[in-house]
């Protein structure tokens, strides 16, 4: 009996940590007084390409818009299409409404040839980083949270990269992010100031 209680306590603690562990990456005020909050990303390989997934919210006086961000060092199309299969077998098609391409520092190894030992120099190089933005309305967000995501396919210039799960991982991540963002929206909005304020 004592072992069963300990096991139940351990499982409930792990569930609480898992459900509240999602971290906020940024919380700022954009032009027009729109509050923009984003979560830290979830890294996932689809076929041989690494993508990062995160959830962000744009909150104004009378609006609240959630977006799924998909980013990668691998090229992403201008109007990228993403297919999701939910746990109830529903198929959802998302089209990116925005694509940003920035440059970030990426480590590069340069071997030294002709030495007596294997050695090299580690330096940085600028590489393109692609971020695509997909709108998620309340109804779709609720369905993702209720049924989860069991398959994803990302268009890639005439082909696609995909992944399937037996157990939902991406949908659970989105649900945790949504809860964390809603919680953050309720806290301390008065302490956040626009960068232009009082400059």
For 18-170, strand residue ranges (E) read: 24-29, 35-39, 42-46, 49-59, 64-72, 81-86, 91-95, 98-112, 119-136, 149-156, 159-164
Residues 6+ apart with CB under 8 A from 96: 70, 76, 77, 78, 79, 80, 81, 82, 132, 133, 134
Tell me the DSSP string of 129-189.
EEEEEEEE-HHHHHHHHHH-EEEEEEEETTEEEEEE-SS-SHHHHHHHHHHHHHHHHHS-G
pTM as predicted = 0.75
pLDDT in tens, the chain (199 residues): 554 444 333 334 344 434 445 688 888 888 888 889 999 999 999 998 999 999 999 998 888 999 999 999 999 998 999 999 999 999 999 999 899 998 877 777 667 676 666 666 777 778 899 999 999 999 999 999 999 999 999 998 889 999 998 889 999 999 999 999 999 888 765 555 556 666 6
């Amino acid at each position: 009996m004592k072992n069963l209680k300990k096991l139940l306590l351990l499982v409930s603690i792990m569930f609480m940590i898992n459900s509240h562990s999602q971290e906020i990456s940024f919380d700022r005020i954009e032009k027009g007084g729109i509050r923009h909050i984003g979560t830290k990303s979830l890294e996932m390989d689809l076929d041989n390409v690494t993508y990062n997934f995160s959830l962000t919210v744009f909150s104004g006086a009378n609006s609240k818009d959630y977006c799924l961000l998909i980013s990668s060092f691998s090229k992403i199309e201008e109007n990228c299409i993403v297919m999701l299969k939910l746990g109830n077998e529903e198929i959802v098609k998302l089209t990116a409404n925005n694509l940003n391409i920035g440059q970030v520092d990426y480590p590069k190894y340069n071997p030294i040839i002709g030495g007596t030992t294997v050695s090299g120099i580690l330096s940085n190089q600028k590489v393109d980083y692609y971020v695509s933005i997909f709108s998620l309305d309340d109804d779709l967000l609720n369905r993702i949270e209720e049924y989860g995501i069991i398959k994803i396919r990302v268009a890639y210039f005439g082909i696609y990269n995909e992944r399937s799960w037996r157990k939902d991982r991406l949908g659970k991540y989105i649900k945790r992010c949504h809860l964390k963002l809603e919680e953050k929206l309720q806290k301390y909005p008065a302490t956040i100031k626009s960068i232009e304020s009082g400059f």
